[in-house]
Amino acid sequence: MAAHVSASAAKPSTAATSAFLAACRREPVPHRPVWIMRQAGRYLPEYRALRAKVDFETLTRTPELAAEVTVQPLKRFELDAAILFSDIMTPLQGMGVDLTFNPGPIVREPIRSIAQIEALPALEPKRDVPFVLETIRLVRASIPRGAPLIGFAGAPFTLFCYLVCGRPSKEFAPARTFLFAQPEAAEALLMRLADAMAAYLAAQAAAGAQALMLFESWAGLLGPREYQRFALPAVRRTVAALKAAGVPLIYYLNQGSALLPTLASLEVDVVGIDWRCSLSDARRVLGPGKAVQGNLDPAALFAPPAELERQAAAVIAEAGTTPGHIFNLGHGIWPDTDPESVARLVDFVHEH
């Protein structure tokens, strides 16, 4: 049972009337759309109840369960979009990379050599990750209020970080030293990842995903020269291959405010912004051709209700009145967040 009854009217949306999809295209919206990065996950008691019985990997590989987890947050809150429940590392498992989750991804044999890179096969989504495509079909058939479904992948450099480093890290030193020590090998790995994620995302769109998001969680660790030499050409390659998919593309760049001028020319519809940069600055730098998504600090959900509303109002004010803002956090929601704060935030954004 939903613990919270929303005050905003629950109008079913379709692809034609979805506030989220309209905002992606910078069209006027009846209300400001909102969804939350990592909205399906450990802060929800119903997710924890399922996880007590089933490990994370099994959840991602069982379409009925992955679909159930995908819609859990939409049953509780009036969110304007769902995001596929999976992980950025799931397609790499499909390509034969031996890895486990504890809770972050641990790669058994981190990639450090040309031989390992050349041994990495191309991704064939129907063969390698059929459960993801089936999850998308199940979600589309059961989604509350006709909300649109976002498919996603890790951006090539962010996947590179986990593959080379082998585990979550603050600095991803092995991945960054690889760029300087073996630049050609690094480029080769990035291009393979770019092609694999293009195939993966195109298959998600074909299965029914109505928008596609690339998570670039760690490219903000790079200086502008390395970003432009390594991360940007790889993500450009993925994005170029997805033009034909016909759905909005979102590129989330964490800690990337210094890199935003470079992104104005990346052919995506929406840029996801973290909280370290004001949305008014981001919109000015990106120009009129991009919508923005973000950017409340996940920590703000721990403020008392009135302060949370002030913080959300500040984000909305910085986003301004020009069409093309999707409200979100600046990074994933923290596992110890109170779901009641999320309910309050979603209603506040809708009513503001």
- Which spans of this chain sit near ligand CP3 (rule: CB under 6 A)? 37-42, 51, 56, 83, 85, 87-88, 101, 103-105, 152, 168, 215, 217, 254, 332
Alpha carbon distance 340, 345 (integer Å): 9
- Shorter beta-carbon distance to ligand CP3: residue 56 or 302: 56
Q: Where are the beta strands (DSSP E) in the chain?
A: 82-83, 99-101, 105-107, 149-154, 211-216, 249-253, 270-273, 291-296, 325-329
DSSP annotation of 334 reads: P
Shortest separation between residue 78's beta carbon and ligand CP3, angstroms = 16
- Shorter beta-carbon distance to ligand CP3: residue 239 or 309: 239
Shortest separation between residue 84's beta carbon and ligand CP3, angstroms = 6
Beta bridge partners of 214: 153, 251
Using CA atoms, how far residue 105 sits from 119, 170, 235, in Å, is: 21, 14, 21
- Shorter beta-carbon distance to ligand CP3: residue 152 or 157: 152
Shortest separation between residue 284's beta carbon and ligand CP3, angstroms = 25
87 is known as an active-site residue? yes
User: What does residue 331 show for φ and ψ, rounded to 5 degrees?
Assistant: -160, 180
Catalytic site residue from 51, 140, 167, 236: 51
42 is known as an active-site residue? yes
Shortest separation between residue 90's beta carbon and ligand CP3, angstroms = 9
162 is known as an active-site residue? yes
252 is known as an active-site residue? no
- Shorter beta-carbon distance to ligand CP3: residue 26 or 342: 342
> b/e string for 28-57 if b means 16 or more Cβ within 10 A?
ebebbbbbbbbbbbbbbebbeeebeeeeee
Catalytic site residue from 87, 128, 274, 347: 87
Active site residues: 38, 42, 51, 87, 162
